[in-house]
Amino acid sequence: MNEERDFVTFTDDDGNDFELDVIDYFDYNGKEYAVLIDANADCDCEDENCDCEHETDVYIMQIVVNEAEDTEEFVSPADEDMDALIEIVQARFEEEDCDCDCEECGDECGEGCDCGCKN
């Protein structure tokens, strides 16, 4: 499956451009957020479904839409929302990690499956 990917270019404090890859979108308290990773993260794997153990910085940004100019701006979320946003992102990643076929229920793990795998 070849999915369309969203890349966003940011500029750091020193004026250097860097690119982040948007890997997920979600809503929280009526606001839209994006989960981004370094688009140039180093990985030795050739496989796009890489399972190697490497760390990648993950960024959570709020998306602010300017309808008058038809643009989107990625801004840092409010500090008081960060704990909840981190929990949401971690839960979404855990959901994606479970792709086993359950021998107990004969189906993919999901709602109602009690095989011990995190749903």
Query: Helix/strand/coil (H, E, C) string of 66-117?
Result: ECCCCEEEEECCCHHHHHHHHHHHHHHHHHHHCCCECCCCCCECCCCCCCCC
In a domain, 14, yes or no: yes
Q: CA-to-CA distance for 108 and 56, rounded, in angstroms?
A: 28
Q: What is the pTM of this model?
A: 0.66
Its domain, for residue 50, covers 6-77
In a domain, 30, yes or no: yes
Question: What values do phi and psi take at 91, rounded to 5?
Answer: -65, -40
Tokens describing residue 20: 């982040």
In a domain, 73, yes or no: yes
Q: Look at the chain and report how many structural domains it folds into.
A: 1
Collapsing DSSP states into helix, strand and coil, what is residue 9?
Answer: strand
In a domain, 41, yes or no: yes
- How does pLDDT run along the chain (119 residues), one tens digit per residue? 445 778 889 898 999 999 999 999 999 999 999 999 987 765 555 556 665 556 788 999 999 998 898 889 999 999 999 999 999 999 988 876 555 555 555 555 555 555 555 44
